[in-house]
Amino acid sequence: MSIDVSGLTKTFGDFVALDDVTVSLPTGQLTALLGPSGGGKSTLLRVIAGLDTADRGTVTIEGREATNLPARKRNVGFVFQHYAVFKHMTVAKNVAFGLEIRKRPKAEIAQRVDELLELVHLSQFRDRMPSQLSGGQRQRMALARALAVEPTVLLLDEPFGALDAKVRKELRDWLRRLHDEVHTTTIFVTHDQEEALEVADEIVVINEGRVEQIGSPDELYDNPANDFVMRFLGE
């Protein structure tokens, strides 16, 4: 079981954003999708999420053919770089949103929201409005909201990219610990090599729409035969 994409090709006019991408990401793994800006990371994530369709190729999520399923039927949680929060709702209401629209029983929602807020260390902020949170707290809230519906797959597109370096570091450590608790199959997009090395079980390097390298952080970092380090340090 895993996320399997096979032969994914996506063009925008003459431009090839994804060029025959085939990759298999095991269940429970935290994968970093690493590459320079414009490399195709977000496009790949959007195609996996069902927010965009590829020209060719297939997406299989946990053994289930998903290529033609709409996003809402893929059971995918998504967190973007720029906070997609409901500004007029409290933190607790934001986290409850996915459960409310699925009409889950009230008691179940209340309990689940309590658990999630604890998981992301926001229990004491439950009645605040998002505008009263720091950037890092808001992204933790967004993660709790994405996790609320127990997604099969969690897709994080540069979730900490808009934050300053210190908070980013804290959040990446936190995400690593969180993942060790929830084990949700996760793809974490970043163009920051250090972030990928520190957070991921496995790194997939994507550039110009192609998968260039795949390996554990140790494999990629320690292997002098590849230009992994040099490529991104130069940016």
User: Is residue 17 a contact residue for ligand ADP (CB under 6 A)?
Assistant: yes
Q: Which residue is nearest to Mg ion (CB)?
A: 42
Closer Cβ to Mg ion, 172 or 191, answer by number? 191
List the single partner that 131 binds among ligand ADP, Mg ion, none, CB under 5 to 8 Å by kind: none
Determine, following the binding rule CB under 6 A, whether residue 12 of this chain makes contact with ligand ADP.
Answer: yes
Place of tokens 């994530």: 45
Which amino acid is it at 122? L
172 contributes a contact to ligand ADP by CB under 6 A: no
* 126: three-class secondary structure by DSSP: coil
Within 13 Å, how many C-alpha atoms sit on residue 56's CB side?
Answer: 10
Residue whose pair of structure tokens reads 């933790």 in the numeric block: 140
Q: Which among 40-48, 75-83, 166-174, 179-187 is the span making contact with ligand ADP, rule CB under 6 A?
A: 40-48
| CA 44, chain centre distance (Å) | 11
Closest approach, Cβ 77 to Mg ion, in A, equals 17
Residue from 38, 57, 135, 136 in contact with ligand ADP (CB under 6 A): 38
Q: Which of 37, 103, 105, 180 touches ligand ADP by CB under 6 A?
A: 37
What letter would DSSP give residue 39?
A: S
DSSP for 48-106?
A: HHTSS--SEEEEEETTEE-TTS-GGGS-EEEE-SS----TTS-HHHHHHHHHHHTT--H
Report the nearest approach of ligand ADP to the CB of residue 53 (Å): 12
For residue 230, state whether it binds ligand ADP (rule: CB under 6 A).
no
* Residue among 23, 34, 39, 143 that touches ligand ADP (CB under 6 A): 39
Strands 15-26, 2-12: parallel, antiparallel or unpaired by DSSP? antiparallel
Binding residues for ligand ADP, per CB under 6 A? 12, 15, 17, 35, 37-43
